[in-house]
Chains A and B, each alone.
Chain A
Amino acid sequence: MPEKIIAGQTVTVDEEGYLQNPAQWNRDIAQEIASEMGIQLTDAHWKVIEFLRRDYQERGAVPGMRRLNKVAGIAIKDLYTLFPDGPIKKAARIAGCPKPTSCV
C-alpha cells in the first residue's frame, strides 16, 4: 500500500486515496482531503463525518445512505448537497474510513 503525506502526516492509503488505518486520521487531514475535492467543511459536513467514524468503529462497516437517514437523521437530499455526486464515497474518504463496499 502506498504512503502519502497529508497535512504534514504520513498515512497509508489505497490506490484511490482512502486511508487504510482510521487511527492515522485527524481533523487537519480531513480538511485537506476535502479541499482537494473542492469541499469546504461546515458543521453540517462534520456531523456526517463524525457519525461515519463512530458507526464504522462500532460496526466495522461504512454506513449507507438509508442508515445515515434513519439513524443519524440526515436527509439524502442534504447529503448530495454536502458531498455532490457520490456522498458516501466522498464522506468516507474525508472521514478516513476505507472505501465502502456494498454487501453481497
Chain B
Amino acid sequence: MRELLILGAGTAGTMVANRLRRRLSPAEWRIRVVDSELRHFYQPGFLFLPFGIYRPNQVVRPKRRLIAAGVEVWEAAAERIDPEHRRVHLATGQELPYDILILATGTQPRPDQVEGMLGDDWGHRVFEFYTYEGAVRLAERLRNWAGGRLVVHISEMPIKCPVAPLEFAFLADWWLRRRGLRDRVELIYVTPLSGAFTKPVASRVLTDLLDHKRIQVVTDFAVARVDNERHALIGWDGREVPYDLLVTVPPNLGAAVIELSGLGDEMNYVPTDRHTLQAQGHSNIFVLGDATDLPTSKAGSVAHFEAEVLTENILAQIRGNPFPARFDGHANCFVETGFGKAILLDFNYRLEPVPGRFPLPWLGPMTLLGESRLNHWGKLAFEWVYWHWLLPGRSIPFVRAELSMAGKVIPAGVWTPETASSMSKR
C-alpha cells in the first residue's frame, strides 16, 4: 500500500482529497488527511457576519462530512515534517509515513505579531473578522455601536483574500447609511500599499469607489504598534491614526509546522514552483492553497484551479509521465461594493484584472471590473457553489483552470509576455 498524505483539511486539502480519491485505486493508494480543527469554515462568509447578512451557523459545517468516504481523517495537529525520512510527526506522538505529501495548511491571522494589538482594546475597540470567533464578536459590537471614527486596517501584505478589507469598508458604508449612522461616522481605510489595491488598473477603479463613498485613505502605512491608551495606530514613520473602532487584518502567517520543519520563508510560506506546484527541492512534496509563496492571490478560487492542475500532475508523477499541466496563477474574485452590487476580478501571473465579460465572451452574464447587481448575486451564489461543487472537487461549468483571454478588454502594456527571465525566477 502506498501512502498519500495531506496536511490540512481546509478548502484546498478537502478538494484535493476528494479529487484524488476518485482517481486513485483504493487497493494501491491510501489517502490520509490530518487536521486539528473539526469545523470547516466558509471563510468568505466571515465578511458578511459582522453586518448580519449571514448567520453564524451558515458558515460552519463538520469537516468529516465534507470528505469522501475512503479518505482517512486524522484529527490531530502535524508538528514536524521530516522530508529525509518521509514522515510526519503528529502532536499526539504518532508518526505517519508518506510517498507523496501535500501541504495545505493555509495561512492564519496573527495579532500577536503587532505590538499592543492584543492589549486592553482587543475585543472592546479593536476587532478582526478573519476568524469565525472574531467575526462573531465584531457583529455583536456593531449591533449597538453609536458611531465615531471607524478605521479599517491591513497590517502587512500578503494576506488571504486581499480585497476583503476593502469589501468590509464598502459594506460598512452601506450598513451605516441604512442605519442612519453614516453622518456620525468617519470612515478611514489604512493600508501598507501605495494605493487601494496591488494591481494598477483595478486600483484606479477601486480608488474612485472609495472617493465616491467618502472613505478616507491612508497609504504606505507600516504599523509599528497599537497604542491602547491613546486608541491609535502608530506607524514606524511616526504617523498616528486614532480610532474609536479599529477593524484590523492582523499579519497573516503560514502554519507553525512549516516553520518548525524548516520548509518556509520569512512568513512561513513554502517556496513553491509556480507552475508544477512542487515544493522547491522536494520532488514528492506538493503545496496547495494559501500555504504557497506563489505571486497570486491567496483565495479559495485559486486553490480550486490549483487543485485541478495538481491532480493531473500527481497522477502523471505516479505513472512516471511528465507533468501535463501548468498552473498559470489564475484567480477569480468577487468584490462586494455595497448596495447589492459587486465587481468581479479575473486575472493570473501575467494579466492583471481588466474590464470585460465573464465567463462567456461578450455574453457574460457577469461584468469584469465594473459594478453590477448580477456580480453580487454571483458572490452570494458562491456559497452554494463552494459547498456543492468546489469542496467535492467538481469543476465549474464554463470556468477553466486556465485564465481565458476571450471577452477581456486588455489595455496596451498591461499583459506581460512570459520571458526567459520571468520563468527562471523560480
Stretch in A32-40, A43-51, A59-67 touching the partner: A59-67
Interface residue? B162 (CB, 8 A)? yes
Contact A103 B158 (CB under 8 A): yes
Contact A84 B296 (CB under 8 A): no
- Please, how many residues of chain B have a CB less than 8 angstroms from a CB on the other chain? 25
Contact A103 B295 (CB under 8 A): yes
A84 to B239, alpha carbons, bound, how many Å? Answer: 12
Task: Out of A80, A86, A101, name the residue touching B220 (CB < 8 Å).
Answer: A86
Return the chain A residue nearest B302 by Cβ.
Answer: A104
Contact B158 A104 (CB under 8 A): yes
A38 to B377, alpha carbons, bound, how many Å? Answer: 53
Task: Out of B198, B265, B421, name the residue touching A104 (CB < 8 Å).
Answer: B198
Contact A59 B295 (CB under 8 A): no
Interface residue? B266 (CB, 8 A)? yes
Return the chain A residue nearest B421 by Cβ.
Answer: A60
Interface residue? B267 (CB, 8 A)? yes
Binary A-proximity of B168-208 (CB < 8 A = 1, otherwise 0): 00000000000000000000000011000011000000000
A90 to B296, alpha carbons, bound, how many Å? Answer: 25
Interface residues of B in 6-20 (CB under 8 A from A): none
Interface residue? B22 (CB, 8 A)? no
Contact B425 A104 (CB under 8 A): no
Binary A-proximity of B225-266 (CB < 8 A = 1, otherwise 0): 000000000001100000000000001000000000000011
- Please give the distance in Å from A20's CB to the nearest CB on chain B: 12
- Please give the distance in Å from B196's CB to the nearest CB on chain A: 12
Task: Out of B198, B267, B422, name the residue touching A102 (CB < 8 Å).
Answer: B198
Q: Which residues of A contact B192 (CB under 8 A)?
A: 102
A23 to B222, alpha carbons, bound, how many Å? Answer: 30
Interface residue? B24 (CB, 8 A)? no
Return the chain B residue nearest A69 by Cβ.
Answer: B266
Contact A104 B162 (CB under 8 A): yes
Contact A67 B157 (CB under 8 A): no
Interface residue? A76 (CB, 8 A)? yes
Q: Which residues of A contact B222 (CB under 8 A)?
A: 65, 76
Task: Out of A71, A80, A101, A102, name the residue touching B237 (CB < 8 Å).
Answer: A80
A64 to B159, alpha carbons, bound, how many Å? Answer: 14
Interface residue? B383 (CB, 8 A)? no
Contact A101 B266 (CB under 8 A): no
Return the chain B residue nearest A65 by Cβ.
Answer: B222
- Please give the distance in Å from B236's CB to the nearest CB on chain A: 5
Task: Out of B157, B199, B296, B425, name the residue touching A60 (CB < 8 Å).
Answer: B425
Q: Which residues of A contact B426 (CB under 8 A)?
A: 60
Contact A84 B425 (CB under 8 A): no
Given contacts A101-B198, A103-B157, A104-B297, contact A67 B237 (CB under 8 A): no
Return the chain A residue nearest B329 by Cβ.
Answer: A104
B residues lining the A interface (CB < 8 Å):
156-158, 162, 192-193, 198-199, 220, 222, 224, 236-237, 251, 265-267, 295-297, 331, 421-422, 425-426
A residues lining the B interface (CB < 8 Å):
59-61, 64-67, 69-71, 76-77, 79-80, 84-86, 101-104
Q: List 8 A-B contacts (CB under 8 A).
A: A65-B222, A66-B251, A70-B266, A76-B222, A84-B237, A102-B198, A104-B162, A104-B296
Known: A61-B425, A103-B157. 12 other contacts (CB 8 A): A60-B422, A61-B295, A70-B266, A77-B224, A80-B236, A84-B237, A86-B220, A102-B157, A103-B295, A104-B158, A104-B295, A104-B297
Q: Which 5 A-B pairs rank lowest in CB-CB distance, beginning with the nearest? A: A60-B425, A70-B266, A67-B266, A103-B158, A102-B157
